[in-house]
């Protein structure tokens, strides 16, 4: 077998956003504020993140830090949306409903993971995310397929830095040349390829094409079976 390991980005590759959770957030907050939910820009979201950090860097060092951080985050979100009553209780309700529970699996995710696991591949996840990376996949029932979870917040570097890719390789005891990788962000897919991975760009929208572009995880099976 040419490859020993396969690594996946999480969001956009293994899981998608859950529209029902988004709808619930919008309708719930609108009911509390008495006005339509105001869409949150990236810059505004980062403002909430900085407020929730209370001046600490990094924002969270472990999953307990992250829980407290996001309870504060949701409180700031509610204040900005014009909610004035029962802020702590309502922020906790948002946290309980949304934290690590806002994703859904793409239709082919489990089938593809089953395929690679049954053929002896080592599998890991590499994601620019918080310490709850493994927990989010436990919630979705797919953590059992992976033997490493490499989160940028714990490594101290984001993709496409070689630091995070090397941390993932070390966790599995493999080389980049022995590994496949999939990411839905081109600079990160390209960065992995520059490190020696056989790396694919996931383009679920069908706008990209090329030798190293895939539109569905099942195309990885086609690749290794050639």
One digit per residue, pLDDT tens: the chain, 226 residues? 789 999 999 999 999 999 999 999 999 999 999 999 999 999 999 999 999 999 988 899 999 999 999 999 999 999 999 999 999 999 999 999 999 999 999 999 999 999 999 999 999 999 999 999 999 999 999 999 999 999 999 999 999 999 999 999 999 999 999 999 999 999 999 999 999 999 999 999 999 899 999 999 999 999 999 8
Residues 6+ apart with CB under 8 A from 110: 142
Instruction: Report the 10 Å Cβ neighbour count for 22.
Output: 13
**To which H or E segment does residue 60 belong?**
none
For residue 226, what pLDDT is reported? Answer: 87
Looking at 69-170, which runs of residues are DSSP E strands? 103-105, 122-127, 148-151
Instruction: Report how far apart, in Å, the C-alpha atoms of 40 and of each of 25, 81, 102, 183 are.
Output: 12, 10, 16, 25
Residue whose structure tokens are 């760009």: 201
For residue 57, what pLDDT is reported? Answer: 86
DSSP string, 72-112: HHHHHHHHHTT--SSHHHHHHHHHHHHTT-SEEE-TTHHHH
Nearest to 21 by CA among 104, 140, 108: 104
Nearest to 46 by CA among 88, 11, 80, 8: 80
Show the tokens assigned to 44.
């505004």
The span from the CA of 183 to the CA of 188, in Å, is 7
The span from the CA of 36 to the CA of 217, in Å, is 38
The span from the CA of 174 to the CA of 194, in Å, is 16
For residue 66, what pLDDT is reported? Answer: 97
Q: In this structure, are residues 146 and 124 in contact, taking their beta carbons and an 8 Å threshold? A: yes
Q: In this structure, are residues 16 and 134 in contact, taking their beta carbons and an 8 Å threshold? A: no
């Amino acid at each position: 077998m040419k490859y020993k390991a396969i690594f996946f980005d999480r969001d956009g590759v293994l899981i998608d956003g859950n529209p029902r959770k988004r709808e619930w957030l919008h309708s719930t907050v609108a009911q509390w504020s008495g006005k339509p939910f105001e869409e949150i820009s990236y810059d505004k979201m980062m403002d909430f993140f900085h407020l929730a950090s209370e001046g600490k860097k990094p924002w969270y060092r472990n999953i307990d830090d992250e829980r407290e951080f996001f309870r504060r985050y949701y409180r700031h979100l509610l204040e900005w949306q014009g909610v004035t009553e029962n802020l702590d209780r309502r922020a906790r309700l948002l946290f309980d409903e949304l934290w690590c529970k806002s994703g859904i699996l793409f239709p082919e995710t489990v089938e593809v993971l089953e395929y690679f696991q049954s053929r002896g591949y080592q599998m890991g996840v590499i994601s620019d995310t918080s310490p709850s990376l493994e927990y989010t996949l436990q919630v979705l029932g797919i953590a059992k397929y992976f033997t490493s979870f490499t989160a940028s917040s714990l490594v101290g570097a984001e993709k496409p830095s070689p630091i995070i890719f090397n941390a993932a390789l070390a966790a599995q005891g493999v080389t980049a040349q022995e590994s496949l990788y999939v990411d839905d962000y081109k600079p990160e897919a390209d960065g992995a390829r520059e490190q020696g991975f056989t790396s694919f760009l996931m383009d679920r929208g069908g706008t990209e094409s090329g030798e190293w572009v895939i539109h569905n995880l099942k195309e990885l099976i086609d690749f290794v079976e050639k």
